[in-house]
Amino acid sequence: MKKNRLIPVLLLRNGWLVQSKQFRRYQNLGNPISAVKRLSEWGSDELIYLDISRDETHDMRRDDLGHPNRSNIFEIIEDVSKVAFMPMTVGGRIRSLGDIEARLALGADKIAINTIALEQPQFVEQAAREFGAQCIVVSIDAKLIDGMHRVMRDGGREPTSLSACDWARQVSQAGAGEILLNSVDRDGMKNGYDLDLLRQVSAAIKIPVIACGGVGEWGHFAEALQQTRVDAVAAANIFHYSDQSVYMAKKYLLEQGLNVRPAELLEL
């Protein structure tokens, strides 16, 4: 039986690793490369690395020995790929097939797309045909509005007319290999996943769904895996505030009888 995956999400904003709350408030957490190294050592199954910058500025303001400054996302991806001993999905600011190719060449295994898919739905099919469906993850940001989980664009700021289920079906049929499903309402709130959203979307499509948004304790991972059909559980903020967090989360899930890979600490 296929294992359920546990996936940390790292959010990069203008060169800094940040935590997010409802797509509006951001707090700097530090160096993105150091975080990736820790998550690798703690046994993460995969990593999702999203550039949520609103412009092209990437400045960590670090020029000291051992912490070279980086001026663009490509330099950062190259640095990260050297310490990420796990499959890595990279997303953010994808505008062309060339953008995908460049990120894959620097070490990304999969590419997450969001805005470009909404603006040009045919892009999903083009990308899947060019690079393979297994490489293309469509990221869906959803917010509950008037009783419907509506797809949001522009970094969760602007509602579209699409329901999350309808959009998931559309991109699935277009060739997407996976869905990253994030609740704008739950983002950073620590009150658990939007289980209704996860149930609806995971039941509507056949491709894997990655749950994201709202994790505040290990039990929230278990709820999603036990009560919905998602294939993977992901989170951002919770992994940054305790030592060996991925290892501890896996240990908990195994104790609950869930089908995840063994918890182990890697020596890299």
Of 165 and 242, the structure prediction assigns the larger pLDDT to: 165
User: Does the residue 123 lie in any domain?
Assistant: yes
Residue 261 lies in a domain: no
pLDDT at 160 over 90: yes
Tell whether 189 is covered by a domain.
Answer: yes
Name 240's bridge partners: none
Lowest mean pLDDT among 65-79, 100-114, 173-187, 229-243: 65-79
Q: Flag whether 267 is in a domain.
A: no
Containing domain of residue 246, as a range? 5-255
How many domains are there within the chain? 1
Q: What is the mean pLDDT of residues 158-185?
A: 97
Q: Which residue has the higher pLDDT, 56 or 121?
A: 121
Secondary structure string (H, E, C) spanning the chain:
CCCEEEEEEEEEECCEEEEEECCCEEEEEECHHHHHHHHHHCCCCCEEEEECCCCCCCCCCCCCCCCCCCCCHHHHHHHHHCCCCCCEEEECCCCCHHHHHHHHHCCCCEEEECHHHHHCCHHHHHHHHHHCHHHEEEEEEEEEECCEEEEEECCCCEEEEEEHHHHHHHHHHHCCCEEEEEECCCCCCCCCCCHHHHHHHHHHCCCCEEEECCCCCHHHHHHHHHHCCCCEEEECHHHHCCCCHHHHHHHHHHHCCCCECCCCCCCC
Reported as a pLDDT band with limits 50, 70 and 90, residue 267 is low
Q: Which pLDDT value is given to residue 258?
A: 97
Q: What is the pLDDT of residues 44-96, one digit of tens each?
A: 999 999 887 766 655 555 444 455 555 577 888 888 888 888 999 999 989 99
194-225 tens-digit pLDDT: 999 999 999 999 999 999 999 999 999 999 99
Q: What's the pLDDT at 65?
A: 43
Give a yes or no: residue 107 inside a domain: yes
Q: What average pLDDT score do residues 155-177 get? A: 95
What CATH number corresponds to the domain at position 152?
Answer: 3.20.20.70
* pLDDT: which is higher, 40 or 110: 110
